[in-house]
Structure 1
Amino acid sequence: MKIHRTSVFVDDQEAALRFYTEVLGFVKKHDVPLGEDRWLTVVSPEDPDGTELLLEPSGHPVVKAYRDGLAKDGIPLAAFAVDDVHAEFDRLRGLGVHFTQEPLEMGPVTTAVLDDSCGNLIQLLHSA
């Protein structure tokens, strides 16, 4: 068994697509119109056939309370692996990305947490 697709809830799919592709560096894989919304996924350019991230519309009534609760408690909704947390932190901060946690070394793991500007906290991590 392996993870094929996971999702993050977003308020504006077009803004989320711009952030996840132009800022974070993912590439669009699927973009299928579904009424007012889209089946919109992105993947890592390093693994285009790997796990897809669905930029899922946040219209369901429980989403706001769920995301607000996680953000209030500082809990990331997802974690993305990077080769160098410090370098990625510097690159993204230079692009204006807001971080709620600067790089923090915890034994063999270094993490940082960013606000994806779409309502979610995302953890960047690297394991030594």
Structure 2
Amino acid sequence: MIRINVTSVYVDDQAKALAFYTEKLGFEKKTDVPAGEARWLTVVSPADSDGVELLLEPTGHPAAKVYKEALVADGIPFTQFAVDDVHAETERLKGLGVVFTQDPVDYGTVVVAVLDDTCGNLIQLATMK
């Protein structure tokens, strides 16, 4: 059986990303080890500390930078995180200064909102109904 163990989000600055993803979004640091000029730096949900790790991967490859910029220019989120209540989470995060490019929208089976992670990505929050 194959399962997801680690997935990545490209970030412009690992230290800034770690602060945002832990202090604002509420993830917990799982792994932080040197990896050449960067770090193998992962965060996890406190609800599942042994679950899928999110690698805060440096945008080192030139193609990654172009890809990220194209997604943001088109308003496309890089990835999606599940939340219990998009409306409540949006208000909580706005209270912490997080900028949203899309307030919650109800699409029938899902409610989504999109935020700027300050590291070059748009991130979608979603609540399945």
For normalisation by structure 2, the TM-score amounts to 0.97
Aligned to 1:127: 128
SS in 2 for 1:91: helix
Aligned to 2:49: 48
Q: Please tell me the residue identity of whatever aligns with 1:8.
A: V
1:96 aligns with 2:103: no
CA deviations 1:12-39 (Å, max 9, x no partner) are 1000000000000000000001232100
Gaps of 5+ in 1: none
CA deviations 1:53-111 (Å, max 9, x no partner) are 00001111111110010011111001000000000000001111111100000002000
d(CA) in 2 for partners of 1:35 and 1:75? 31
1:7 aligns with 2:31: no
d(CA) in 2 for partners of 1:2 and 1:102? 32
d(CA) in 2 for partners of 1:3 and 1:76? 20
Q: Please tell me the residue identity of whatever aligns with 1:15.
A: K
Q: Please tell me the residue identity of whatever aligns with 1:62.
A: A
The alignment covers a number of residue pairs equal to: 128
Aligned to 1:113: 114
Aligned to 2:85: 84
Gaps of 5+ in 2: none
SS in 2 for 1:55: strand
**Structure 1: 4+ residue segments shifted above 4 A:** none
Q: What is the aligned-residue identity percentage?
A: 66
Aligned to 2:64: 63
Aligned to 1:23: 24
d(CA) in 1 for partners of 2:12 and 2:112? 26
Aligned-residue Cα RMSD (Å) equals 0.7
For normalisation by structure 1, the TM-score amounts to 0.98
